Amino acid sequence: MKNLIQTADSYLMQTYKRFQIVLDKGQGVYLYDLNGKKYLDFASGIGVYSLGYGNKEYNEALKNQIDKLLHTSNLFYNSPATKAAEKLAKASYMERVFFTNSGAEAVEGAIKLARKHYYNKYGKADSEIIAMESSFHGRTMGALSITGTKKYREAFEPLIGGVKFAKFNDLESVISLVNEKTCAIVMEPIQGEGGLHPATEEFIVGIRKLCDEKGILLIVDEIQCGMGRTGTMFAYMQYNIKPDIITCAKALGCGVPVGAFAAREEVAGAFTYGDHGTTYGGNPFATAAVSKVFDIYEDENILSHVKEIGLYLSFKLDELAKKHQCIIEHRGRGLMQGLEFDHPVADIISKAMDKGLIIISAGSNVIRFLPPLVVDKEHVDVMIDILEQSIT
């Protein structure tokens, strides 16, 4: 394992502070390193592996598609993409879908769609977007432009223009930035990288009302909090509002790189032939994964399970927070929760990993819990026990 890490460090660009572990295989909610050490996984590849590792039905669907067809390009139709688009549209209450290769690409597409909609409506290319402080939407230049954390943006400026940042959960802050050029407001229902902060109902409902009044599009980023992680298929559904555009990725493919943005019919119609494209997006292999993920979610009643285990995780984290003064706050929903500490959490995460528990941070002082959605109560109990030892 040490030799492989040295080789990796010799050839890979140094853009990640990787843990000194080489993961080799997974089963259920557990991962194993090259030396055979077993880890309880409460990160799921940053919210990707919702079905856990080694799901036979999922794996068989991918094996079957490999034997049939991996790629065609979007110059042709293919069956998996058609089935996946129908399932995603129905699950998200949107009408039109565009498949991408990642979440950042989905955000790029959503930005382009919002600007083209504005251009068609007003006949000019001077649109502006309002995004949120402390938000995170991806690493590409467009996604960085609407990411509300300066440290991610400043070295790569100038980014795309016409972006303003409002305070999250402060409706008046948003209202003060709106003008006749505002084409879209973009937000995460729960800020993931920003520290596990859920939107208040007053805030998100108020933004929907504001958008309706001003003819502005509401873009909701569901890349981390979507696909059942909070107990509904998409987190915005808990607020009884409907966005104009949504972005999703991560658990959409449960391990296969795939993303998508989806929109209402009237908004999606802003795109015409040649306005947007992708070589790999929507290929048969990736969309076969998407289609099977939706099937398994329904067959195994994943959303109900998340609601049940999410409540149990919340209860156990509340108990833990009450016992340790160093824990400032517990927040989150479903199986997307976090603990904020009064000091950096890197040592706690390191000690937990030594004891066979994988957890990750959101910022320097928040521990983030994103287990596979098939996690059970006994796994929560083991996690809490190791975490408490690591804190102590």
- CATH 3.40.640.10 domain range(s) in the chain: 57-299
Q: What is the pLDDT of residue 117?
A: 98
Q: Among residues of the chain, what percentage have pLDDT more than 90?
A: 98
101 and 281 Cβ atoms separated by less than 8 Å:
yes
Average confidence score pLDDT of the chain: 97
Number of residues in the chain: 392
pLDDT digits (tens, 9 = 90+) for 96-122: 999 999 999 999 999 999 999 999 999
Both structure tokens of 170? 């402060």
Q: What is the pLDDT of residue 363?
A: 87
Assess whether the previous peptide bond of 158 is cis (omega < 30° from 0).
Answer: yes
H helix or E strand, kind and range, residue 329: strand 327-333
Say yes or no to pLDDT of 25 above 90: yes
Q: Among residues of the chain, what percentage have pLDDT more than 70?
A: 100
As its CATH architecture, domain 57-299 has 3-Layer(aba) Sandwich (3.40)
Strand partners, 99: 260
Cα–Cα distance, 338 to 371 (Å, whole number): 12
Secondary-structure class of domain 2-55+301-391 per CATH: alpha beta
pLDDT band at 7 (very low <50, low <70, confident <90, very high): very high
Q: Which of 238, 239, 240 is nearest to 230 (CA)?
A: 238
Side chain identity at 277, as an amino acid letter? G
**Residue-by-residue DSSP string for 180-241:** TTEEEEEE-SEETTTTSEEPPHHHHHHHHHHHHHHT-EEEEE-TTTTTTTTSSSSGGGGGT-
Both structure tokens of 183? 């084409």
pLDDT, average across residues 215-233: 98
pLDDT, average across residues 243-253: 98
Both structure tokens of 190? 């729960």
Say yes or no to pLDDT of 296 above 90: yes
pLDDT digits (tens, 9 = 90+) for 116-157: 999 999 999 999 999 999 999 999 999 999 999 999 999 999
Q: What is the pLDDT of residue 227?
A: 98
pLDDT, average across residues 180-204: 96
pLDDT band at 51 (very low <50, low <70, confident <90, very high): very high
pLDDT digits (tens, 9 = 90+) for 329-353: 999 999 999 999 999 999 999 999 9
H helix or E strand, kind and range, residue 286: helix 284-299
203 and 170 Cβ atoms separated by less than 8 Å:
yes
Tell me which DSSP letter residue 53 carries: B
pLDDT, average across residues 239-263: 97
- CATH 3.90.1150.10 domain range(s) in the chain: 2-55+301-391
